[in-house]
Amino acid sequence: MANGSSISEFKKNAIKAITHDDTIFYAFDAKECENGGDLVNTHIFTYNKIPNTITEVATYMTIMVHNKARDRNGMFITPTLEIWIYCHDKHMKMDYKITKDNRCDYLSRLLEDMFNGSFEYGGIGQLKTILNEEGAFNKDFLYRHLMFTTVDINNSMCERW
């Protein structure tokens, strides 16, 4: 059922998957963090703002979930998982033994591999990538913006009876 609790559950499931993936954890190169769980509220945020990080050389990620009506009768909605990856320009280069991609591209590839085509993170449908774009956030930070969408039921069928 799509409601406020489903938004929280979708975010929680996505963050759990990201923070439990060792490849993603090492791609962050967050030397002050001992494990993926340490990334939450230091490098991974559940809103699209990075507190007090204007000049720090690091990589950050923000995760949001949105619901939109899908059909006229309102039975189905379209939950969307939105992820922003922000990398300081001095933190973009990866170890060539790992990948020749820059850090934003590498993390976005790992996230697409994780979420695109999956049924397990939110909604009743399969997650599909609908956006993966790059750009410059400001003079120091570059970004990758990803969006994945699925289908969910807008109202609980059990609550009607």
Angle at 91 between CA 100 and CA 56, to 5 degrees: 170
Of 76, 77, 67, 65, give the one whose Cα is nearest residue 121: 65
* 93 in Cβ contact with 87 (< 8 Å): no
The β-bridge partners of 79 are 67
* 21 in Cβ contact with 35 (< 8 Å): no
- What kind of architecture, by CATH, is found in domain 4-160? 2-Layer Sandwich (3.30)
pLDDT at 89 over 60: yes
**pLDDT for res 60:** 94
Between helix 4-19 and helix 103-115 the angle, nearest 10°, is: 120
Torsion of CA 129, 130, 136, 137, to 10 degrees: -100
Name the residue type at position 22. D
**pLDDT for res 109:** 97
Write down the pTM of the prediction.
0.88
Residues 161 and 147: their CA atoms lie apart, in Å, by: 35
pLDDT at 1 over 50: no
Q: Where are the beta strands (DSSP E) in the chain?
A: 44-45, 59-69, 76-88, 128-136, 141-149, 152-153
Tens digit of pLDDT for each residue in 16-36?
A: 999 999 999 999 999 999 999
Q: How many CB atoms lie within 10 A of CB 155?
A: 14
Tens digit of pLDDT for each residue in 91-139?
A: 999 988 889 999 999 999 999 999 999 988 877 789 999 999 999 988 8
Of 37, 126, 122, 115, give the one whose Cα is nearest residue 83: 115
